[in-house]
Amino acid sequence: MGIQLEATTILAYRRDGVGVIGGDGQVTFGNTILKGNATKIRTLYNGKVLGGFAGSTADAFILFEMFEDKLQSRKGDIVKSVIDFAKMWRKDRYLRRLEAMMIVLNPSHLFILTGNGDVVEPEDKKIAAIGSGGNFALSAARALDRFAPDISPEKLVKESLQIAGELCIYTNTNIKILTTKE
């Protein structure tokens, strides 16, 4: 039986030429908090693409590096990059065992990537969440998107993650946010 890390909430949102990703800082092992200020989001391709991960930190670093290589080879084309990356992740036996999920976005596109080779573009094409508190953050973000149309994308992500951090024991309220614009 492998070690299971339960941690993280990552939320991504895009609207009106702005892409925002946020994540909490908690890393948990069993019923112990190992770290409260981890960074699970990053900028890619000279700040034009944002990414976040849920799962094993070491695995995520490998995946971020590989995805950034795909972005470089595809000259920043996020759509072609996610397809190439998913094919590579799915075909490689070693990579399939990596325990992580990713969200990647730019102001025009948003995708969830998994080791099963899944490339999921959310139905509404503007909100996605992964991790232990992902459903809490997603629900809050949908409500704010619907009922507070004047809220800034950054504030929507921050408030939604704050709510997730108040509900999910594997998520805290040490929130980090990154933004990219067209």
Instruction: Tell me the C-alpha distance between 47 and 61, whole Å.
Output: 17
Active site residue 8: yes
Give the count of alpha carbons within 13 A of 5, CB side only.
23
DSSP 102-148: EEEE-SS-EEEEETTS-EE--TTSSEEEEETTHHHHHHHHHHHHHH-
Which of the residues 8, 9, 171, 180 is marked catalytic?
8
Task: Answer whether 131's CB lies under 8 Å from 54's CB.
Answer: yes
Residue spans of beta strands (DSSP E) within the chain: 9-15, 18-23, 27-29, 32-35, 41-44, 49-55, 100-105, 110-114, 119-120, 127-131, 176-181
The SS3 call for residue 7 is: coil
Query: What Rg, from alpha-carbon coordinates, does the chain have?
Result: 15
Residues forming the active site? 8
